[in-house]
Structure 1
Amino acid sequence: MKSRLKEHSPRAAPAGSVMRSVRPWWSRRESAAKTTHRAPTPWVRAVTLGAGTGLAAGMTLAAAASGLAGYFARTVVTPVRERAEDLQILAVTRGPEGDEVILPITAETVVDGTYGLFFHGGRSLARIGPISALEPKGGTVTRPVEKVYGGDLRTAVRGWWTSVVYLNPSHAGFESEEVVITLPGGPSPAWHVPPQPRAAGRPEGEELPLAGRNIWAIGVHGRGSNRTEGIRALTATSALGIDTLLISYRNDGEAPDASDGRYGLGVTEWEDVEAAIEYALERGAQDIVLLGWSMGGAISLQVADRSRFAEHIRALVLTGPVIDWMDVLAYQARANRIPSAVGRLGQWFISNSGGRRVTGLAAPVDLQAMNWIDRADQLRHHVLIMHSVDDNIVPYGPSRDLARKNSKVSYVSFAQARHVKEWNHDPQRWDATMVEWLTDLFSRPAPGQSRPGEPGYYA
């Protein structure tokens, strides 16, 4: 946005002219005597110099603030192409039951559960088990190496901690079919995983609560991740007896990039999920359950709100979801010690057409349209939210508040799990919560049905 303020510089007096002090007409004497022109006193010169210096400093600060706000805004909407290997791998030793890795104590590495450790630039992944030893004085934690997918962890010196623990469904014991979904931007890979009770640990012949009812779950991963994030849900979906489609969407490194190469934070990506719903419906699905993690939660909410297939969406199961982007951006600004005014300017860059030159977005992102706290009464679908109270990326408050404002939203609190690692920290609780909630939901009539025997009624 161009400023309307224009800088005017005084015109130079013509050569040989005499500059006169201009006084109000009521102070002029009736005599025509000339007024003597006096040079400014020293304090006037000092004030003038100080004002000029202050203006220059103010302009410098304003430029710095605008630059910081622009950088903040660009970071939010720019896809992550390379991850920093910010975790040192101190050693890999031989333990009583296999290899163990010694890592520095961090807020992430001391949380019990099963996690992933990417190394060799993300080309290799190690699945890391629960804590086996903790050395607070030495600042180290030891954990078992359950499995390594590609590469040699013993040769790695750095990596990064992740919620991803499998690189494809077969690593989790599930057979899958690699399929292609035609997105608005072109063909995109996905995994179709039919229900497999044995892989989910269910006894042979056990009746699964939702089997044979043409229900498909569609996994929508978060920002900076990919379809591997949803593999963790396969135990629960197979225990339910439903098909699962783990998809890619624009800018995630597998699907075609958006034309502007920028995240829409949900307002563009939802079209890719809609294409996945259409794919499932064409193959016999009747009801859809959206599974969303982090930004995938924001995307899923936009799908439920905007898609022409919204009537087929029966439920959303969201983990650590973005319920209100403005709240998330304000939190991230505080966490990064960015002044609140600068953070708000960054939001303005993202949500207004005047910021497109800064962000690189093809169109502004309507952050208000993704504020589901203000739009709570417009949410028509049943939603289960699982969110850790110590989430260090997406605060849990909006998830809790949305459940308080809309009776169709169920909120289940986790602790110590950090961001989208609720399953990693307590997989049994995550699986059980999802299975029980969806079983109960599908035992009720679908919207518009109330009698046994009607489509959508599940006894």
Structure 2
Amino acid sequence: MNSFLKSVLVRYLLVPIAGVVVLVIFGGGWYFSSVLEEDGLRVDNDPGDFLVKITGITDNTITLRQIKSLETEENLAISALWGITNGESYGQLGDLISEDDGLITREFTLLEGEFRPGTDARFERTPYPHDPYLAHELDYVEVFIEAPLGDIGAWLVEVDSDAWVILVHGRTSNRDSSLKILDDLYELNVNSLTIDYRNDEDAPPSESGYYDFGVTEWEDLEAAVQYALDDGAQEIILVGYSMGGGVVVNYQLRSPLSQHTNALILEAPMLNFGRTVDKGAQERSVPYPITAVAKTLASFRFGVDWGAIDYLSRADEIDVPVLLMHGEEDDTVPLETSIEFAEALPNLVEFHAYPEVGHVAIWNWHPDEYEELVTEFIERHR
């Protein structure tokens, strides 16, 4: 076969192969962009399914079995402090006592209501009932803050002080994430304001209809800061968990009110949503070319501005002290983004990484150390 015929044959074979590859990558990208919309962008205020069945209970222990048809986010056998609820009652799970034939027995403290064997329940990261008084017997006021899209709610635990801490929860979470330290803030004689923001259950929807990962939510935090200033705040520390960390950082980058910020406390902050999506794709074994196409399609289909959700690239513009914490086994937000943030601000960031700990679960594993770290940081920078 002469060279001309060979080249024709090669082109004849390569063109359809290349076409198939392009179709596979585009089709995979289209599908994964839809997954991204459903699992990442779409607003979700559902508290979650009941994932365990209570098989036995005493005054200080509880025995659980995983419901086999569902997957639990947390391993039942991890000796960390979790909440457990059946939707009405609330308790705390402590250390693992035994594990035998699918049955897990753990230390248990009943906080509210009653649990019965045979009923279903779910784990929660917040091991307290759902308001400051039920959790810590803290008197609080439900306040409403005038924000750009409408009023947002907040818990205000007020003390006689001009120091304020404003707390911002993460995606699919809620104000409950603040309960782990509200009693510590009260003991420090610091006002605490735990806020909702757009797309929360009782808050106005965003204009996009999706989570904006801090691109717009920072305006609601700005409204909360203005509320605190109007009420006499002179010292303000901002706390952000996961996506709430991105909200806090973007507020600090964009708001003229950020001049009033004394310091930031960030746990597993989502500083670059594109990197978070890349991590999720890797966890699902999605090839990089498909991920890249999916992100491009998400821009066209759902209006995602990847550059606007990259706060990491502007880390060097942050000019206040930061307490930064991240679990090394975080399967949601890449640990590397926090490492890079700390490296960009070596004189401002106090960084702590925790082996074996997952997403926004440092307090659950190390509550005493966590509270000591946070309170000492606040005392230094208030």
TM-score by length of 2: 0.87
Distance change (3 Å), C-alpha of 1:51 and 1:393: closer
Structure 2 runs not aligned, ≥5 long: 67-71
Correspondence 1:391-406 to 2 at 5 A: 391-406=330-345
Match for 1:409: what amino acid? V
Change (3 A) 1:243 1:342: same
Worse-matched range after superposition: 186-195 or 66-75: 66-75
CA drift at 1:393: 1.4
Instruction: State the Cα deviation string for residues 169-214 of structure 1 (Å, max 9, x = none).
Output: 112221110111111111121110124xxxxxxxxxxxxxxx73x1
RMSD between aligned alpha carbons? 2.8
Residue matched to 1:420: 360
Aligned residue identity for 1:310: S
Higher relative contact order (CA 8 A, sep 6+): 2
Distance 1:248 1:380, change over 3 A: same
Contact 2:90 2:110 in 1 (8 A): yes
State the match for 1:438 in structure 2.
378
Q: Which residue of 2 aligns with 1:307?
A: 255
Aligned residue identity for 2:323: L
1:165 aligns to what? 128
Equivalent residue, structure 1, for 2:350: 410
Three-state SS of the structure 2 residue aligned to 1:249 is: coil
Query: Do the aligned partners of 2:81 and 2:94 also contact (CA within 8 Å) in 1?
Result: yes
Task: Determine the C-alpha separation between the residues in 2 that align with 1:47 and 1:400.
Answer: 48
2:242·2:269 contact (CA, 8 Å) conserved in 1? yes
Partner of 1:13: none
333, 358, 369: which is aligned to 1:429? 369
Corresponding position: 1:341 with 2:289:
yes
Match for 2:147 among 162, 178, 183?
183
Give 1:151 shift: 7.3
Task: Confirm whether residue 139 of structure 1 aligns to residue 102 of structure 2.
Answer: yes
Residue type of the partner of 1:420?
Answer: V
Flag the structure with higher helix content.
2
Amino-acid identity (%): 24
Q: Of the candidates 105, 109, 112, which is equivalent to residue 79 of structure 2? A: 112
How far off its partner does 1:65 sit? 1.6
Distance 1:152 1:265 in 2: 37
Contact preservation (8 Å) 2:174, 2:200:
yes
For the pair 1:261 / 2:192, whether they are aligned, the reply is no
Q: Distance in 2 between matches of 1:237 and 1:334?
A: 38
Pairing 1:24-423 to 2, within 5 Å after superposition = 54=17, 57-58=20-21, 60-74=23-37, 75-82=39-46, 84-85=48-49, 87-89=51-53, 91-95=54-58, 97-98=59-60, 100-104=62-66, 107-119=74-86, 123-124=87-88, 126-135=90-99, 138-147=101-110, 149=112, 152=115, 154=117, 156-157=119-120, 159-163=122-126, 165-173=128-136, 174-195=138-159, 212=161, 214-350=162-298, 352=299, 355=300, 358-359=301-302, 361=303, 364-367=304-307, 370-372=310-312, 374-406=313-345, 407-423=347-363
Cα separation, 2, equivalents of 1:231 and 1:110: 24
User: Which stretch of structure 1 is more off in the superposition, 409-418 or 257-266?
Assistant: 409-418
**Which deviates further from its counterpart, 106-115 or 325-334?**
106-115
Q: Secondary structure at the match of 2:166?
A: strand
> Computing the radius of gyration over CA atoms, which structure comes out larger, 1 or 2?
1
How many Å separate the matches in 1 of 2:65 and 2:357? 18
Instruction: Summarize deviations over 1:277-328 as a string: whole Å, max 9, x none.
Output: 1111111111211111000001000111111201111111111212332322
- Report the CA distance between 1:161 and its aligned residue: 4.1
CA distance in 2, matches of 1:81, 1:368: 24
Aligned to 1:25: none
SS of residue matched to 2:30: helix
How many residue pairs end up in the alignment?
369
